[in-house]
Amino acid sequence: MVPTLKTISPKLVSFKLDGKKYRLHSALLSWRSGFFDTMLSLPQQPDGPGEAEGSESNPITITGATVAEFDSLLHYIYGRHRNNGVQFTIEQLIAILHLSNLWDIPSGRKDAISMLESHSSLTFPRVLRLSQEEDVPQWFTNAFLASAGASLDDSIMNDMGYTLTSPPWYYTVHNIASVHVLADLGPYWTSCLLDLASQRQQHRFSIDSEYFAVGSDDGHTRIYKTTGDTVILKLRGLSPVTAIFWHPPESSHQYKIFVGYGDGSVIAFFADLALAEQTEGCSASIDEGLRIPFPEVQGAVGSFDLNPANSMLAVVIGAKVFVSVSLENSEYLLSNGRAIPDPPRMLKSESSEICPRDVQFVLEADELVVSYLEHGLVGWDSKGKSLRWHIKVKTRIAHSTISQDGKFAVVYNLHSGFDRYDLNTGELISSYSSQVNELQNIVLPVLFIHEDRDLLLGDSRGN
């Protein structure tokens, strides 16, 4: 039963906040708040000679709130919105939500969230900000989608809590995937994307789209079910996660997950994800995975691709591209992968550092295509032994993708957008301008879709 002023103990306790004094019912505070219940259950000792804390002459000092915020919370605790028909403003409800989180008031949090959701004047950028600051994950997806295409003008920046510079995580989230993709992903993005506020993430869907992996700078790779928002498995590593690759599952539940780390190591984890779903939150350490050996690696793992025809794995590690022994052969866990040769020097000056960006097997042509930041596009046979062709491009390459038929490549050039090349002739056949933030050099996505008939491109605003 909800206590009322008529049914609770009349005992009053004194508090002070920024010069303002309060006389409040201790039983009501204790019933509403775990924080106050703990505080008031302790013996109230005097600071020195005189009366105990909580008396009129020695009030308890409250910190962590403003007078306006505390007054809003008291209006809620004492039920004045119900008794007197008081309508809380947005700022009052945000204060109630904030202090309910701070002082363990479950009913205050629940009611504040419910009343805020009914406020039509609460902007989506403000909701997006609150979803992070006050841990309301169910707000994130809709608020993000509604905010993603908006120009970051002063009013929106203020709503999001930034007044001088654009929030770096906002750009990060914008450029992970287009809004059209996000719209189809579902509520699990809530958990996945909230983590992006503080650290860089790597992400990859399983081949069957049943699961989603998010790797972070803390060395952890978190696995989510695409229809949920809970971590079902955590893979613990010792270095920042820089790349993730899902091996095609051999059964409906058994998965191999290859994780690349900042120290150049590649670990294969074997997981029964159906079982992991039943025991949410379980974890596996790097010791439980199997290290795939590559010789003399220097640098972080950059990207993966698998040739389904022979199960050979291509991996970018630092300035080298390696090809493993076939994953169908158990020896791949014991035998060193092999580094393919460096790109031809005629593609750039001798002083250019070699920096591979992407690897992709082209089944139609039985080739491995490697794109380099400064050395263009290079085609090798599928085992990475024989050079077949090379294309010198006029720009740098930050990211590339190859059409399924192996006829075309589209590269993101870090300057004006995207360029499309004919892999048979080496000619630049078209360009697609895209808004580029040259101060951030974020890698923008590009995909061939609809059986290579169309392209899906991203820009630095998340479009």
Span 362-373, pLDDT tens digits:
877 688 999 998
Query: CA of 323: how far to CAs of 305, 310, 417, in Å?
Result: 10, 12, 30
User: 43 or 310: whose pLDDT is higher?
Assistant: 310
Do the Cβ atoms of 361 and 306 come closer than 8 Å?
yes
Query: By percentage, how much of the chain surpasses pLDDT 90?
Result: 17
The answer to whether residue 267 scores a pLDDT higher than 70 is: yes
In-domain check, residue 256: no
Most confident residue range from 124-128, 133-137, 180-184: 133-137
Summary mean pLDDT of the chain:
77
In-domain check, residue 165: no
The answer to whether residue 209 scores a pLDDT higher than 60 is: yes
Do the Cβ atoms of 99 and 69 come closer than 8 Å?
yes
What's the confidence (pLDDT) of residue 233? 86
Give 377's strand partners.
371, 391
In degrees to the nearest 10, what's the CA dihedral of 427, 432, 435, 439?
A: -10
What's the confidence (pLDDT) of residue 299? 82
What's the confidence (pLDDT) of residue 442? 66
Spatial distance between the Cα atoms of 345 and 250, rounded to a whole number of angstroms? 41
Span 156-202, pLDDT tens digits:
656 666 554 444 434 433 333 333 333 333 333 333 343 333 334 57
The answer to whether residue 97 scores a pLDDT higher than 90 is: yes
Query: 220-225 and 266-272: which strand pairing?
Result: unpaired
Write the CATH number for 407: 2.130.10.10
Q: Across residues 30-52, what is the average pLDDT?
A: 75
Confidence of residue 242 (pLDDT cuts 50, 70, 90): confident
Write the CATH number for 76: 3.30.710.10
Span 370-403, pLDDT tens digits:
999 888 899 998 888 889 999 988 888 888 888 8
Spatial distance between the Cα atoms of 296 and 285, rounded to a whole number of angstroms? 24
Spatial distance between the Cα atoms of 259 and 289, rounded to a whole number of angstroms? 10
Q: Across residues 245-250, what is the average pLDDT?
A: 78
Confidence of residue 39 (pLDDT cuts 50, 70, 90): confident
Of 122, 154, 181, which residue is a domain's last?
A: 122
What's the confidence (pLDDT) of residue 6? 59
Most confident residue range from 59-73, 114-128, 303-317, 422-436: 59-73
In-domain check, residue 250: no
Three-state secondary structure readout of the chain: CCCCCCCCCCCEEEEEECCEEEEEEHHHHHHHCHHHHHHHHCCCCCCCCCCCCCECCECEECCCCCHHHHHHHHHHHCCHHHHCCCCCCHHHHHHHHHHHHHCCCHHHHHHHHHHHHCCCCCCHHHHHHHHHHCCCHHHHHHHHHHHCCCCCCHHHHHHHCCCCCCCHHHHHHHCCCCHHHHHHHCCCHHHHHHHHHCCCEEEEECCCCCEEEEEECCCEEEEEECCCCCEEEEEECCCCEEEEEEECCCCCCEEEEEEEECCCCEEEEEEEHHHHHHCCCEEEEHHHCEECCCCCCCCCEEEEEEECCCCEEEEEECCEEEECCCCCCHHHHCCCCEECCCCCHHHCCCCCCCCEEEEEEECCCCEEEEEECCCEEEEEECCCCCEEEEECCCCCCCEEEECCCCCEEEEECCCCEEEEEECCCCCEEEEEECCCCCCCCCCCCEEEECCCCEEEECCCCCC
Query: CA of 159: how far to CAs of 144, 163, 189, in Å?
Result: 13, 9, 22
Most confident residue range from 142-146, 439-443, 448-452: 448-452
What's the confidence (pLDDT) of residue 183? 37
The answer to whether residue 434 scores a pLDDT higher than 70 is: yes
The answer to whether residue 344 scores a pLDDT higher than 70 is: yes
As for how many domains the chain has, the answer is 2
Of 83, 103, 122, which residue is a domain's last?
A: 122
In-domain check, residue 228: no
- Residue 125: phi, psi to the nearest 5? -60, -35
What's the confidence (pLDDT) of residue 335? 65
Query: CA of 182: how far to CAs of 177, 185, 278, 460, 463, in Å?
Result: 7, 5, 27, 15, 11
In-domain check, residue 425: yes
In-domain check, residue 354: yes
What's the confidence (pLDDT) of residue 83? 60
What's the confidence (pLDDT) of residue 171? 42
In-domain check, residue 395: yes
Side chain identity at 405, as an amino acid letter? D
What's the confidence (pLDDT) of residue 193? 42
**Can you give the residue range of the structural domain that contains 442?**
340-463
Of 122, 156, 183, which residue is a domain's last?
A: 122
Span 277-310, pLDDT tens digits:
777 656 666 667 888 888 877 888 888 888 878 7
In-domain check, residue 170: no
What's the confidence (pLDDT) of residue 456? 80
